[in-house]
Chains A and B, each alone.
Chain A
Amino acid sequence: MIIRIDEYSDVPIYMQIRNQIVMGISSGELKGGEQLPTVRALALEIGINTMTVSKTYQLLKQEGYIMTDRKNGARVRDNIAQSGVISEENKTELKRIVSEARISGVSKTELKKLIDEFY
């Protein structure tokens, strides 16, 4: 799986990595039980501080997407808890996206088509 980091983005790097790993899990590019690189290796590969990657992994662990242990490092969780609800944060984000789309003249059908494509 390829991670793309935009150095000039307003989104912090740790969040960019987190978002892409979540997208990777969702799309099936990262399968359950799949090994993730070590904090040091990924930091070296991207050329960022190890603390940034560590923060990403802590966040992903906290959110229940990955599990970490000293022996095996970080792995994608086999069974990610499915609450069936969208978090308030995501709802706000979705509202923003829908609003921007409406202002830009994107039709509801087109938006739904996009959701179907990404889902």
Chain B
Amino acid sequence: MTWLFKIILAICIVPSAVLLLILGFPKNPETRKMIFGVRDNPKFHEGNAAKRVKEIADSCRKSALIITCIICIATVILVFLPSTNVTMLAFILLVFALFLVFIPFGKGNTELKNLKKELGITKSGTVYADLKNTSIIHALKMPWLILPNCIALLETVFAILVDFGVIRIVDTLAIEKYGLTMTSASFLFVAIILVPIALMMDNTRNTVISKDSNVNANYNRAKKKCWADLFVAMSWANALVIGILVTLYMFFFNDIAVLAGALAYMAVIMVIVVISVKLQISIEKRYERDTDLELLDDDDCWILGMFYYNPNDTRLNVEKRFGYGGTVNIAHPAGKVIMILTVILLVASIGFIIWAAATGNLDKLNVNSPF
């Protein structure tokens, strides 16, 4: 385990923590459609209620800010500490510590739900469907998503051939370590995972905001276009990074080049996500004045504002209320399986890291691979 690995982990942890803080705890939550996963209500903006909402938002934001600062400072400190088994364990566990930001979010969600009860905001069970737009609003152009994945696949195949010594352009470094294959395959895996997620987001249920079908169609098309562009851009970024890594590895491989590559990749991903979030916010603002229907109040189906559990809803995928993207309906049979697998994966990962640290294997990880 080298300083390079630690710096790359730090590059992943710090921006992710900051992004989680920005997405989950905006400075003016009252201007958003959702406040801590609770749908905004006109009563939230009146007199004492507005004051309470502000207090809750400020208190939760402060807690989240403290958690984010601790994570970021701990990350920076650990980068400079010598790589002992314990420091490395602490470092990797910091990745999972990012989930701590969910605690103030859940707290804010619970407090706002209580406030709703106090204000006597009753649950509205009205669902709207636009007959003219049902299942015809899509924005994802599959070739644009498949093409970068095909390129990434070809690059990975090339990387395998280089690692196995089938292709020898120059006297490459550390070919026997299979580092290039592992790195390329990891990025390819991420790119492939994006395909079903992109399809899922493109097939999410249309939101009916107006009595005018054209407004609904334009609103949903704009939102889905934003999603589609995000996934296409991320897929191209993945294909590009594999290409750059293969080139770097074969011709100019050194620690600084790899570090610069990792930094550039994280920067590109962050820029893509930030642009996409900004676009989504501007779409919401643009269509706010066209909204003339009261949307379904399903806040109670959102456990802590993060987990969707609605046995009366047959949909599997829904738009998230924390962060950015989609999530699954845990009440759906497939949703249950996905959630159980996710929990198993998380617990297994933490268990494996602790086991590796306890048996002293953590610092024996391959240090010569680019990542």
Report the minimal beta-carbon distance from A30 to chain B, rounded to whole angstroms. Answer: 7
Encoded as 1 (CB less than 8 Å from any A CB) or 0, chain B from 204 to 220 comes to: 01101001010000000
Contacts of A6 in B (CB 8 A): 125-126
Q: Is the CB of B315 within 8 A of A7?
A: no
Contacts of B28 in A (CB 8 A): none
On whether A3 and B125 interact (CB within 8 A), knowing A43-B314, A45-B206, A47-B205, the answer reads no
In the complex the two chains form, what is the Cα distance from A42 to B132 in whole Å? Answer: 10
B135 at the interface (CB under 8 A from A): yes
Contacts of B131 in A (CB 8 A): 1-3, 21, 24, 30, 36-37, 42
Q: In this complex, what residue of A is CB-closest to B329?
A: A47
Report the minimal beta-carbon distance from B263 to chain A, rounded to whole angstroms. Answer: 42
Kindly identify, within residues 84 to 117 of chain B, every residue whose CB is under 8 Å from any CB belonging to chain A: none
A5 at the interface (CB under 8 A from B): yes
Q: In this complex, what residue of B is CB-closest to A43?
A: B314
B299 at the interface (CB under 8 A from A): no
A118 at the interface (CB under 8 A from B): no
A interface SS class? mixed
Encoded as 1 (CB less than 8 Å from any A CB) or 0, chain B from 41 to 56 comes to: 0000000000000000
Report the minimal beta-carbon distance from A29 to chain B, rounded to whole angstroms. Answer: 9
In the complex the two chains form, what is the Cα distance from A36 to B135 in whole Å? Answer: 11
Report the minimal beta-carbon distance from B214 to chain A, rounded to whole angstroms. Answer: 12
Q: In this complex, what residue of B is CB-closest to A36?
A: B131
Q: Is the CB of B314 within 8 A of A4?
A: no
Q: Which of B126, B132, B205, B315 contacts A4 (CB 8 A)?
A: B126
Q: Is the CB of B134 within 8 A of A45?
A: yes
Most buried by A among B125, B129, B135, B312: B129
Contacts of A42 in B (CB 8 A): 129, 131, 134
Q: Which of B126, B135, B213, B315 contacts A47 (CB 8 A)?
A: B315
A46 at the interface (CB under 8 A from B): yes
Counting chain B residues whose Cβ lies within 8 A of the other chain, the interface size class is 20 to 34
Q: In this complex, what residue of B is CB-closest to A16?
A: B127
Contacts of A7 in B (CB 8 A): 125-127, 312
On whether A48 and B126 interact (CB within 8 A), knowing A37-B131, A37-B135, the answer reads no
Q: In this complex, what residue of B is CB-closest to A40?
A: B135
Q: In this complex, what residue of A is CB-closest to B125?
A: A7
Closest 9 CB pairs of A and B: A7-B125, A41-B135, A37-B134, A47-B313, A5-B127, A8-B125, A45-B129, A1-B131, A3-B129
Offer 16 A-B interface pairs, CB within 8 angstroms, sorted by A: A2-B130, A2-B208, A2-B211, A3-B131, A5-B128, A5-B129, A6-B125, A7-B127, A42-B131, A43-B314, A45-B129, A45-B135, A45-B205, A46-B129, A47-B127, A47-B310
